[in-house]
């Protein structure tokens, strides 16, 4: 939706790279409040986050200036990672309450992870 070219690396890795670039001092301070998913539940979905970004872009006739595009991309990435963190904490608390000992955690999957592994 942000028209970020992703070529061979895939959309996840392209989004990550795009978010690393840019001038932080000139980013718009107002981006839409992005949903956090089903708070307090071990259910997971990015559909609400995706729809929110889609509506934001559609309300601007699909045209965003570069600083707004970067701010929106970073807000999306932050909301997505925050949802992962919230679900991880819920799962760890569930394990603790049910006598399951966790010694290691692996976060894997997605195009960005695959590209990272290919580069190693």
Does residue 1 fall inside a structural domain?
no
Does residue 78 fall inside a structural domain?
yes
Tell me the two tokens of residue 100: 């399951």
Predicted local distance difference test score (pLDDT) of residue 96 = 94
Tell me the two tokens of residue 12: 């996840």
How far, in Å, CA of 41 to CA of 14, rounded? Answer: 30
User: What are the mean pLDDT values of the chain's consecutive 10-residue runs (120 residues total)?
Assistant: 84 87 67 73 82 88 86 87 88 94 80 49
Asked whether 73 and 2 are in contact (CB, 8 A), the reply is yes
Calculate the alpha carbon distances from 25 to 19, 29, 67, 76, 77 in Å: 14, 10, 10, 19, 19
How far, in Å, CA of 115 to CA of 26, rounded? Answer: 30
Q: Which residue has the tokens 């981006």?
A: 31
Predicted local distance difference test score (pLDDT) of residue 109 = 64
Q: How many domains does the chain have?
A: 1
Does residue 3 fall inside a structural domain?
no
Does residue 96 fall inside a structural domain?
yes
Helix, strand, coil percentages (3-state) for the chain, rounded to 5, are 55, 0, 45
Does residue 45 fall inside a structural domain?
yes
Report, in angstroms and rounded to the nearest whole number, the Rg of the chain calculated over CA atoms. Answer: 17
Asked whether 72 and 31 are in contact (CB, 8 A), the reply is yes
Does residue 2 fall inside a structural domain?
no
Does residue 20 fall inside a structural domain?
yes
Q: How much is the pTM?
A: 0.75
Predicted local distance difference test score (pLDDT) of residue 95 = 94
Predicted local distance difference test score (pLDDT) of residue 99 = 96
Domain extent for 52: 11-119
């Amino acid at each position: 939706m942000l028209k970020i070219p992703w070529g061979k690396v895939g959309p996840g890795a392209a989004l990550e790279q795009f978010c690393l670039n840019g001038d932080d001092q000139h980013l718009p301070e107002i981006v839409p409040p992005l949903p956090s998913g089903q708070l307090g539940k071990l259910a997971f979905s990015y559909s609400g986050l995706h729809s929110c970004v889609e509506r934001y872009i559609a309300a601007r006739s699909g045209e965003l200036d570069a600083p707004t595009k970067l701010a929106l991309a970073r807000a999306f990435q932050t909301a997505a990672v925050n949802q992962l963190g919230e679900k991880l904490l819920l799962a760890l608390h569930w394990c603790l309450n049910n006598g399951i000992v966790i010694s290691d955690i692996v976060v894997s999957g997605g195009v960005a992870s695959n590209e990272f592994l290919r580069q190693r």
